[in-house]
């Protein structure tokens, strides 16, 4: 249970970055990697059937052609899926991943990933899917649903891969935030990287004191830790800090009860993911 890294590829511009991030992650975690491609059921999207307006002979002929067309369409979709997975396998293999697996699934992507959740140690997703390639900085239409539905750790990645040297934890002193710190401290994913912990709130001694527990937890595991308290709008403070310190990865919990909750509710989820050019590590 919870042993595999799964990476979703769809042939979009994000697929290369998903492969690179997944290869990096599975090697650091010493976990097997499986590449997943989910295609919509081609039989679920049909053109309107006007055959009832035609004569019997013409209608039967049309229905035969429609059946043949559906069969061809389904075959092409499956062949395309296998090609997408073959390209992904080649890329991660070139990055040093041994014996990567592959899964081709039909149907809804959220449902398909839910069936894999029990075995998922980390799920790697591109923030731009195939549909998102059409519009600059468009978040894939399924991403928010996946974040809300699945409880597995997720790495949501941008279009380019850069090996992280440091990371930022968006911290609020909540039980959820403490769990994030504890999971990161126990995980091999970010071991050896420079850790930054940011609390967005009033710059008081009480808030600074809140950061001492997560600092000690990470330092005990050998992390070099920088803690900061800054007041202001959560979105602006987190993004400004990331830019000022050259942070290449942001880690945070999803659906907390504090102001950090706004990162993962409604349109602000899309805003945060679109604005961030770095990977987001989302933990429950």
Same domain, 174 and 196: yes
Distance CA(112)–CA(191), nearest Å, equals 31
Same domain, 81 and 202: no
Determine, yes or no, domain membership for 50: no
Same domain, 247 and 217: yes
- What is the domain-level CATH number for residue 134? 3.40.50.620
Distance CA(37)–CA(103), nearest Å, equals 6
Based on the structure, what is the number of domains in the chain? 2
Same domain, 9 and 144: yes
- What is the per-residue pLDDT across 132-144, written as a single tens digit (0 to 9) for each? 554 433 335 577 7
Instruction: Average the pLDDT over 23-31 and give the result.
Output: 97
- The range of the structural domain enclosing residue 271 comes to 166-283
pLDDT at site 175: 84
Same domain, 239 and 215: yes
The three-point CA angle 64-70-76 to 5° equals 140
> In the structure, what pLDDT confidence band is assigned to residue 117 with cuts at 50, 70 and 90?
very high
Instruction: Average the pLDDT over 100-123 and give the result.
Output: 93
Determine, yes or no, domain membership for 241: yes
Determine, yes or no, domain membership for 258: yes
- Tell me how crowded residue 208 is: count the other CB atoms within 10 A of its CB: 13
Determine, yes or no, domain membership for 61: no
Determine, yes or no, domain membership for 60: no
> In the structure, what pLDDT confidence band is assigned to residue 101 with cuts at 50, 70 and 90?
very high
Percent of the chain with pLDDT over 70: 80
> In the structure, what pLDDT confidence band is assigned to residue 130 with cuts at 50, 70 and 90?
low
- What is the per-residue pLDDT across 227-269, written as a single tens digit (0 to 9) for each? 999 999 888 898 899 999 999 999 988 654 444 444 444 444 4
Sign of CA dihedral 143, 144, 150, 154: positive
Instruction: Average the pLDDT over 70-95 and give the result.
Output: 88
DSSP 132: G
pLDDT at site 30: 96
Same domain, 85 and 103: yes
């Amino acid at each position: 249970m919870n042993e595999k890294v799964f990476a979703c590829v769809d042939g979009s511009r994000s697929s290369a970055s998903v492969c690179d991030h997944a290869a990096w992650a599975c090697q650091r975690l010493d976990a097997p990697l499986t590449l997943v491609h989910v295609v919509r059921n081609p039989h679920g999207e049909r053109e309107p059937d006007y055959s009832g307006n035609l004569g019997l002979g013409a209608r039967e002929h049309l229905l035969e052609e429609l059946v043949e067309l559906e069969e061809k369409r389904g075959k092409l979709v499956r062949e395309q899926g296998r090609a997408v997975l073959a390209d992904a396998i080649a890329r991660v293999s070139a990055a040093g991943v041994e014996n990567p697996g592959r899964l081709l699934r039909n149907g809804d992507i959220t449902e398909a990933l839910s069936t894999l959740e029990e075995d998922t140690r980390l799920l790697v997703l591109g923030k731009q899917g195939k549909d998102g390639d059409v519009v600059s900085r468009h978040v894939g239409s399924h991403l928010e649903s996946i974040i809300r539905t699945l409880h597995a750790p997720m790495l949501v990645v941008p279009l380019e891969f850069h090996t992280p040297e440091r990371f930022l934890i968006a911290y609020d002193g909540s039980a959820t935030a403490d769990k994030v710190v504890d999971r990161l401290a126990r995980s091999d994913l970010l071991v050896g990287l420079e850790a930054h912990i940011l609390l967005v709130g009033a710059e008081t001694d009480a808030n600074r004191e809140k950061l001492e527990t997560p600092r000690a937890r990470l330092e005990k595991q050998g992390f070099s830790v920088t803690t900061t308290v800054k007041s202001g709008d959560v979105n602006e403070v987190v993004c400004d800090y990331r830019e000022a310190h050259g942070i290449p990865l942001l880690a945070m919990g999803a659906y907390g009860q504090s102001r950090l909750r706004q990162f993962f509710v409604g349109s602000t989820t899309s805003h945060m993911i679109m604005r961030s050019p770095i990977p987001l590590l989302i933990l429950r």
